[in-house]
Every structure is written in C-alpha cells, then in structure tokens.
C-alpha cells in the first residue's frame, strides 16, 4: 500500500520534472519572473535586518548622556550622583570619567589616528543614565530638569534618533509586507494561468483518465506538483538573486569601509529565513495551481 | 452482474435515447447489443460506466445501484470495467506501452507489477513488438488492439466494447472477436455493441436488439 503510494508520487514527481524540462524556455522565464518577484520583498527584508543589527542595541534601551562642565570637580560629581540616586525616574546610571572615555575612544575603530595626535584630553566627565520610562514626553521632561543643574554642560539624549530609526524600520516592515502581499498575489496569478493553459492542453488526457477510473486527486496531483516545484525553483532563484546582490554590495562596501578603517559587511539570509523563503514560494506555487485546478478541472467531464 | 430496471435516458434537448429498458446480464456471460446507429447502444453502454446518468430507473452493477452512486465513487466503479471506446480515446503524446500503463497508474499498482502486466496485455493483443511506437504510427486495426490491451490490463470483471470492429476489414474483425471470446472464456463478462450483422451470423451468444430506445423481443 505504502509502496504503491510512493510509486505513484515518485512517478508524478519525475513526470513533473520532465514536463518542466520539456519546455525549458517557458519554465525558465516563469522561474525568473517568480525569482525576481520574490527577491524584491525578501531583499528589502535582508537589508533591514542588516540595518537593525548595525544600528545596534540602543534602539530598545534609550539612554541619556550627561556631560559635565570640563572644570567639574570631585564634589560636583558626587552632587550629581546623589541627585541621580534620588530621582525616581532614573533606573540606573554609570559614571564615565574623562580618562576612561578617552581610552574608549582610542579603542574604537577609525579614530585611533586622531586620538594619538591629541595634546590633552578634550573629553568631559559624563554620566550615562538609563531611565524608567521611554516615552518621548517623559524623557524630554527629565532632560529639561537635568539641563538646569549648574554642573551640567549638556544633556544629550538620542531619543530623536531612536525614534527616527524605529519609525524607519516600521515603515520598512510595512513596505516589505505590502510588497510581499502584492507580489505573492502576482505569483499566484501567474501560476493560476500557467496551470489553466496546461489543463487546456491536457484536456484529452484528463478526460481519458476520468473515463478509466482516475479519481480527482489523481488528476490534480501532477498540476499541484508542477505548481509546488516551480514555486520552489522560483524561491531558489530569489535566494540566488539576493545572495548575488549581497555579495556584490559587500564588494563595494569593502572599498568604502577601507577608507574609514571600519568593519562592516552585509549578512546573508539566515538558514531559517532561507528555508522559510523556499517553503513559502513552494506553497505559493501550490496554491496558485490548486486554485486553478479547482476552477477549471470540473469543466472537463467525459461524455 | 449487470441489471437494468425501467431505465430511461432523456437528454437535456429532449431526445429520448433509451425508453424503459429492462435487461440483465449474468456473470461470465457474453452478450451482443445490436441496432442501427442512433438506436441507443452507446448510451446504454455509457450508463453502465456512469459516463451518463439515467433519467429514471435503477442500474445495478455487481449488486451496487449506480444510479445513486456518489461522484467520488464513480472512479472505483470504472476500474471494475474495461471500456473499449468507439473513438479509441488513445493518448497520442505517449507510446503504446505508456498508453496501456495508464489504468495501472490510476489503480495504484506497484511498479514491478505494472511492467509485467502491460507486457502481458500487449502480448495478448499482439502488440508486444510495438510497445515503443507512438499511436499515430499504428494502423486502424493496431489502434483497436491497443485500446483492447488498455481495457484489459487491470483485469476488469466486465469488458464493454462500443463498435469494436467499426472500420476494420473482415479478417481483422474476426481476430478481434476471437480475443473477446478468449477473455470471456476466462470468466470476464463481455458486452459488445455492434451494428455489424456479419459478426452475429454464427454466434452462440445472446443478442439484444435495440430499436429507437427500446429493446426488441
């Protein structure tokens, strides 16, 4: 029973491959169209993933930097510490003395050359403050309070940047979703039409198969396989387009980052995302074929 | 095996193809169905394979009332029947072997069994040497024999033939009739529709005659 089932599915699988290969130009064109359509939203998604990982962790934990006046003394620092401890809005803070800040600056890429030429340390002492709330209003309010402290030169607060970044990512996600939806519908439509044409050319075969006892699922099977396999190959094409795109961009980036002695390269699709892409594209092909079969096959009844 | 009770078939355009037919074919019997073209022979055969559904009456095949058969059950009924179509209904995009293979693929046979069954069927009709040929390259008589091989390859208990000797010369027709007789001798119920009176001249089998949708006594 299982062997007969395997025989049947194996047969249909190879029959489908044979059909795909027997019309190489048509198959290739369909695969390329599907590949390009899928690579567009997936490509933007990959770029966004990279952007998010480059922009770092600061997105989810807003922090303020309090820079003290450059002539601040030990007493001033203690005063600020005490005030921060008393403030209910402050969850946690960290004191960064100017020497440490300079050392960190020397460690960071790209600036080594600059810092070695410095005669004296231009950096102020600073506090890094993590706040309880992260709404822009609360942060703004806190900023105003701290700015009034006489020992403080400047309160820097990267909420604007954080907000812009997360708004940009949100927009990006929306664009990906919209493109993915529209292009998925396009792929389903392409597959619907491909299968419709196939059903028309296989009219005799379908009719004769029905006459000699083929069940609907037997007749449907080669078309569904065709849809799924072509969808899968389209997904592979999309993956290849993205991989090629990232490789090319990385080559360009190498030139760019060399100038800044900076380490940056774009990451490829993760294994999970790659598998999801392939499964999704196979499913799209299958779905297009399934809808087409459902709306065309019943019209062919032998008489 | 096959039984019709008060079976009528009226087409949507009002044409009455069969009118109140009663008949019964015993298991292992061989029966001829004769009559002019348009007498309803093809319709009667199509009703047996549920290709057409009766307007009224009951049709029973091996104890199963097929007038009430659900759509999903029709394929399994057809697998019990080997049907030789008047217009052959061969697939011209595949060779002789693959044409005969089709009923086995549909019936989920196992791979190793299929090849030997197909060869056996082709051998029976004398087409074993042509298994790689395309149907287009076959003569009319060979196509008819190919159609027979396809109808018997899954060893159905009922064999139905619609004008199997239609355009064949006498020698070919005699060969083909001999094949049907040999299938009948191994227990297959055979029903043959023909308007060719020469086939019926010296037959010992039952002959049913249809006239304008009615069975003549």
pLDDT at A3 over 90: no
- A213 chain-B contacts, CB cut-off 8 A: 75-79, 103, 106-107
- A302 chain-B contacts, CB cut-off 8 A: 51
Of the candidates A3, A11, A302, which has its C-beta nearest B51's C-beta?
A302
Whether A211 contacts chain B with CB within 8 A: yes
pLDDT of residue A129: 83
Give the integer Cα–Cα distance in Å for A220 and A239: 29
Which of these ranges, A157-161, B188-192, B208-212, has the smallest mean pLDDT? A157-161
Q: What is the pLDDT of residues B177-187, one digit of tens each?
A: 989 999 999 99
Find the mean pLDDT for residues A28-57.
85
Give the integer Cα–Cα distance in Å for A100 and B17: 103
Of the candidates A8, A204, A302, which has its C-beta nearest B105's C-beta?
A8
pLDDT of residue B80: 93
Whether A12 contacts chain B with CB within 8 A: no
**A145 is written with which tokens?**
């309070």
- How many residues are present in chain A? 303
Instruction: Using CA coordinates, name the residue in chain A closest to B49.
Output: A211
pLDDT at A95 over 60: yes
Side by side, the strands of the sheet bearing A126-131 are: A90-96, A126-131, A63-68, A152-157
Instruction: Using CA coordinates, name the residue in chain B closest to A201.
Output: B93
pLDDT at B162 over 90: yes
Question: Which residue ranges form the domains of chain B, and what is each CATH number?
Answer: 1-80+156-217 (3.40.50.300), 91-155 (no CATH)
Whether A303 contacts chain B with CB within 8 A: yes
pLDDT of residue A283: 97
CB B163 within 8 A of CB B86: yes
Find the mean pLDDT for residues A260-269.
75
pLDDT of residue B27: 93
Give the integer Cα–Cα distance in Å for B186 and B122: 17
pLDDT of residue A57: 45
Following DSSP, what letter does each residue of A171-221 receive, concatenated? HHHHHHHHHHHHHHHHHHHHHHHHHHHHHHHTHHHHHHHHHTT--HHHHHH
Please report, for residues A78, A81, A138, A153, the alpha-carbon distance to residue A90 in angstroms, rounded to integers and kept in the order given.
Answer: 16, 11, 11, 19
How many Cβ atoms sit within 10 Å of the Cβ of residue B193?
A: 25
Of the candidates A3, A4, A213, which has its C-beta nearest B75's C-beta?
A213
Instruction: Using CA coordinates, name the residue in chain A closest to B79.
Output: A213
Nearest to residue B36, comparing CAs of B217, B159, B180, B214?
B214
Do A209 and B150 lie within an 8 Å CB cutoff? no
Percent of chain B with pLDDT over 90: 62
Domain residue spans of chain A? 2-57+163-299, 63-157
At A68, the pLDDT band (50, 70, 90 cuts) reads confident
CB A115 within 8 A of CB A101: no
pLDDT of residue B214: 87
At A53, the pLDDT band (50, 70, 90 cuts) reads confident
Q: What is the pLDDT of residues B7-57, one digit of tens each?
A: 999 999 989 899 999 999 999 999 999 988 888 899 999 999 999 999 999
Whether B73 contacts chain A with CB within 8 A: no
Do B102 and A5 lie within an 8 Å CB cutoff? no
Do B106 and A218 lie within an 8 Å CB cutoff? yes
- Which DSSP category does B84 fall into? E
User: CA angle at residue A194 from A193 to A199, to 5 degrees?
Assistant: 95
Whether A8 contacts chain B with CB within 8 A: yes
Task: Please enumerate in sequence order all residues whose Cβ is within 8 A of that of A246, keeping only pairs 6 or more positions apart, or say none.
Answer: A46, A266, A267, A268
Tell me the CATH number for domain A63-157. Answer: 3.30.70.3040
pLDDT of residue B81: 94
Find the mean pLDDT for residues A252-278.
82
Instruction: Using CA coordinates, name the residue in chain A closest to B83.
Output: A212
Do B79 and A207 lie within an 8 Å CB cutoff? no
Whether B1 contacts chain A with CB within 8 A: no
What sign does the dihedral A249-A251-A256-A258 (CA atoms) show? positive
Do B108 and A205 lie within an 8 Å CB cutoff? no
List the single best residue of A212, A218, A222, A298 to mutate versus B (max B Cβ within 10 A): A212
Higher-pLDDT residue of A63 and A240 is A240
Find the mean pLDDT for residues A5-12.
81
CA end-to-end distance (rounded Å), chain A: 32
Nearest to residue A242, comparing CAs of A31, A35, A34, A32?
A35
Whether B105 contacts chain A with CB within 8 A: yes
Half-sphere exposure of B125 (CA within 13 A, CB side): 29
Whether A297 contacts chain B with CB within 8 A: no
Residue A200 DSSP SS3: helix
Highest mean pLDDT among A40-44, A103-107, B38-42: A40-44
pLDDT at A58 over 50: no
Percent of chain A with pLDDT over 70: 89
Do B85 and A211 lie within an 8 Å CB cutoff? yes
Give the integer Cα–Cα distance in Å for B33 and B3: 14
Do A4 and B110 lie within an 8 Å CB cutoff? yes
At B116, the pLDDT band (50, 70, 90 cuts) reads very high
Q: What is the pLDDT of residues A162-214, one digit of tens each?
A: 677 778 888 888 998 999 999 999 999 999 999 999 999 889 899 999 999 99
- Which DSSP category does B94 fall into? S
* Residue reference for tokens 């019990």: B80
- A218 chain-B contacts, CB cut-off 8 A: 75, 106
Which of these ranges, A75-84, A125-134, A239-248, B49-58, has the smallest mean pLDDT? A125-134
Backbone angles phi, psi at B165, to 5 degrees: -115, 20
Whether A4 contacts chain B with CB within 8 A: yes
Helical axes A159-201 vs A136-147, angle rounded to 10°:
160
Restricting to B residues 136-175, those with a Cβ less than 8 Å away from any Cβ of A are: 150
pLDDT at A59 over 50: no
Which of these ranges, A100-104, A105-109, B21-25, B141-145, has the smallest mean pLDDT? A105-109
Following DSSP, what letter does each residue of B30-45 receive, concatenated? EEEEE--TTSSHHHHH
Tell me the nearest-neighbour CA distance from A16 into chain B, angstroms: 15
Tell me the nearest-neighbour CA distance from B81 into chain A, angstroms: 8
pLDDT at A151 over 60: yes
Size of interface A-B (CB pairs under 8 A): 59
């Amino acid at each position: 029973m299982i062997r007969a089932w395997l025989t049947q599915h194996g047969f249909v699988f190879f029959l489908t491959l044979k059909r795909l290969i027997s019309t190489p130009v048509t198959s290739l064109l369909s695969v390329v169209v599907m590949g390009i359509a899928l690579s567009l939203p997936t490509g933007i998604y990959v770029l966004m993933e990279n952007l998010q990982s480059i922009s770092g962790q600061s997105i989810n934990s807003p922090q303020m930097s309090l820079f003290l006046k450059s002539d601040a003394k030990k007493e001033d620092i203690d005063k600020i510490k005490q005030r921060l401890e008393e403030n209910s809005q402050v969850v946690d803070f960290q004191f960064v003395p100017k020497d440490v800040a300079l050392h960190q600056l020397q460690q960071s890429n790209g600036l080594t050359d600059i810092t070695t030429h410095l005669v004296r340390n231009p950096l102020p002492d600073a506090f890094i403050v993590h706040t309880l709330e992260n709404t822009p209003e609360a942060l703004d309010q806190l900023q105003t309070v701290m700015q009034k402290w006489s020992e403080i030169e400047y309160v820097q607060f990267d909420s604007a940047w954080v907000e812009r970044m997360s708004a940009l990512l949100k927009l990006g996600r929306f664009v990906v979703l919209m493109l993915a939806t529209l292009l998925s519908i396009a792929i389903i439509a392409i597959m619907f039409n491909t299968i419709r044409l196939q059903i028309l050319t296989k009219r005799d075969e379908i009719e004769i198969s029905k006459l000699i006892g083929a069940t609907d699922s037997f007749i449907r099977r080669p078309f569904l396989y065709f849809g799924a396999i072509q969808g899968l190959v389209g997904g592979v094409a999309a993956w290849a387009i993205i991989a090629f795109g990232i490789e090319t961009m990385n080559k360009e980036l190498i030139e760019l980052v060399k100038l800044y002695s900076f380490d940056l390269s774009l990451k490829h699709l993760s294994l999970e995302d790659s598998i999801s892409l392939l499964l999704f594209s196979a499913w799209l092909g299958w779905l297009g074929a399934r809808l087409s079969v459902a709306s065309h096959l019943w019209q062919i009844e032998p008489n | 095996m096959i039984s019709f009770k008060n079976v009528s078939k009226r087409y949507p355009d009002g044409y009455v193809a069969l009118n109140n037919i009663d008949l019964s074919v015993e298991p292992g019997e061989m029966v001829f169905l004769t009559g002019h073209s348009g007498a309803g022979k093809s319709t009667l055969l199509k009703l047996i394979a549920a290709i057409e559904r009766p307007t009224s009456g009951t049709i029973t095949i091996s104890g199963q009332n097929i007038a009430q058969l659900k759509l999903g059950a029709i394929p399994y009924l057809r697998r019990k029947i080997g049907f030789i179509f008047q217009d052959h209904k061969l697939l011209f995009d595949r060779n002789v072997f693959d044409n005969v293979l089709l009923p086995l693929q549909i019936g989920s046979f196992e791979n190793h069994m299929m090849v030997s069954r197909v060869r056996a069927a082709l051998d029976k009709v004398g087409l074993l040497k042509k298994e790689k040929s395309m149907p287009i390259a076959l003569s009319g008589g060979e196509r008819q024999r190919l159609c027979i091989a396809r109808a018997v390859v899954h060893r159905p208990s009922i064999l139905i033939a619609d004008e199997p000797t239609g355009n064949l010369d006498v020698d070919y027709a005699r060969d083909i009739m001999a094949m049907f007789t040999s299938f009948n001798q191994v227990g297959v119920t055979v029903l043959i529709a023909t308007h060719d009176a020469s086939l019926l001249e010296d037959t010992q089998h039952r002959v049913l005659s249809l006239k304008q949708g009615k069975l003549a006594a």
